[in-house]
Structure 1
Amino acid sequence: MTETIKHHLTDELLMAYSAGTLPEAFNLMVATHLSLCDECRAQAESYDAVGGSLLEDQADTHVMSDGAFEATLALIAENKAPETTKRPPCSVLPAPLQDYVGGGVEAIRWKSIGMGVRQAILPTSREASARLLLIPAGAAVPDHGHRGIELTMVLQGAFSDEVDHFARGDVEIADQDLEHTPVADVGEDCICFAVTDAPLRFTSLIPRLVQPFLRI
């Protein structure tokens, strides 16, 4: 059963995901959202189908060399399939994130970044950064703008800002034109997954001073 999701990924992001042109952090965001959203997953599968059709058309123009098929089978036989770790289901972290965290919420290594907010940076390539954020119920993230693109997906609880209200599965897409102050709903801590391709732009002095150390 799909989550009740109001805020989805754009077609541009889904097409780039299908084409394999996104940075690792953004790929992880898309995969995490698709694991909860039937609508975006169906759209992504349609782009995959189009890409597959194009590859088939190109393949028709190339002739395989003699013995290519047998050589491929031999390589497959030589390489064993990697062992996969079966993890218990987690009500907060979808499977793609569990693979990066190494388990459920209990496996997250939180670090304080001030005002009760905590983060855990996930290991991804240098083109973009990925992090989990825990915002205490009723607390706010410092007012900030963006030097690039920031995608924020709610995993637990909800938050509101100048744009709208975002609950589990919703993704907020922020760019250089948006300055906002996300505030977690009262009653439950908000856990979010966020990816950025450039540092944030804080308006207050203290967040700007600690920003290099927190890698935000």
Structure 2
Amino acid sequence: MKQIKHHLTEPLLMGYAAGTLPEAFNLVVATHISMCDTCRAALAEYDAVGGEVMIDAEPVELAEDALAATMALIDNAPAFDMPRAKVLRGGVFPAPLQDYVNGDLDNVKWRRVGGGVRQMVLETSDQASVRLLYIPAGTAVPDHGHRGTELTLVLQGAFVDETDRFAAGDVEVANEDLNHTPVAEEGMDCICLAATDAPLSFNGLVPRIAQRFMGI
């Protein structure tokens, strides 16, 4: 059992339960919940509250053509075949993430971003972006701040920054108030799942130049 210290915030759990988060954030939340008994129990409570709210809500009258319009949208939607994920027991990636990678760590198509760090951007809606990050043990991610919210979930290894240590299952919720330099601990390469709703704000010139090409 993982000893998870850093959990999701109440607004994130409420947003996930209500279906108001961007897809990229949903993926990080779902992956963390699959690893964390505490947040999974909290989400069940929010789901129960949401169900009670729906029961007590006043009914809303639909337009006469609502059903026909909905069926037309379904009929005209482009065909899309979701690749069947290879769900692997005992792998690095929990099931929600395996659905996006179509497997586990061996299926990741890494792209180098400098300093030994690699990434793979996952396909989601354009409201926010999410990527897998591979940070070699002992390597630092360039010093940066945030123009929005960043969720970073550790899947393997651990990293430390100015706030604390984050190990497998921990999630760091960063916003405009945080400037930090995450460093992967020695001993094991660190793999993270990170979602952002705005570009990072790097303090160094080289990372700022690379940012234009890497979409970070």
Q: Normalising to structure 1: TM-score of the pair? A: 0.87
Unaligned 5+ residue runs, structure 1?
Answer: 63-81
How big is each residue's C-alpha offset from its partner over 1:123-171, in whole Å with a ceiling of 9 and x where there is no partner? 0000000000000000000000000000101000000000000000000
Paired residues of 1:90 and 1:105 also in contact (CA < 8 A): no
How big is each residue's C-alpha offset from its partner over 1:64-93, in whole Å with a ceiling of 9 and x where there is no partner? xxxxxxxxxxxxxxxxxx996552224311
Report whether the alignment pairs 1:3 with 2:2: yes
- Aligned equivalent of 1:118: 118
- Aligned equivalent of 2:187: 187
Quote how far apart the aligned CAs of 1:60 are: 7.4
Quote how far apart the aligned CAs of 1:94 are: 0.6
Q: Normalising to structure 2: TM-score of the pair? A: 0.87
- Aligned equivalent of 2:131: 131
Paired residues of 1:128 and 1:196 also in contact (CA < 8 A): yes
Unaligned 5+ residue runs, structure 2?
Answer: 62-81
Q: Give the Cα–Cα distance (whole angstroms) in 1 for the partners of residues 84 and 119 of structure 2.
A: 27
- Aligned equivalent of 2:93: 93
- Aligned equivalent of 1:211: 211
Paired residues of 1:90 and 1:104 also in contact (CA < 8 A): no
Give the 5 Å matches for 1:1-216.
2-58=1-57, 85=85, 87-216=87-216
Amino acid at match of 2:54: L
Q: Secondary structure at the match of 1:166?
A: strand
Q: Give the Cα–Cα distance (whole angstroms) in 2 for the partners of residues 113 and 61 of structure 1.
A: 51
1:192 and 1:56, CA in 2 relative to 1: closer, same or farther beyond 3 A?
same
Q: Give the Cα–Cα distance (whole angstroms) in 1 for the partners of residues 114 and 86 of structure 2.
A: 35
Q: Secondary structure at the match of 2:27?
A: helix
Q: Secondary structure at the match of 1:193?
A: strand
Paired residues of 2:139 and 2:184 also in contact (CA < 8 A): yes
Q: Secondary structure at the match of 2:35?
A: coil
Is the radius of gyration larger for structure 1 or structure 2?
1
The count of corresponding residues between Structure 1 and Structure 2 is 199
Paired residues of 2:84 and 2:99 also in contact (CA < 8 A): no
Q: Give the Cα–Cα distance (whole angstroms) in 1 for the partners of residues 139 and 183 of structure 2.
A: 6
Quote how far apart the aligned CAs of 1:182 are: 0.4
Q: Give the Cα–Cα distance (whole angstroms) in 1 for the partners of residues 195 and 85 of structure 2.
A: 25
Identity %: 61
Amino acid at match of 1:114: G
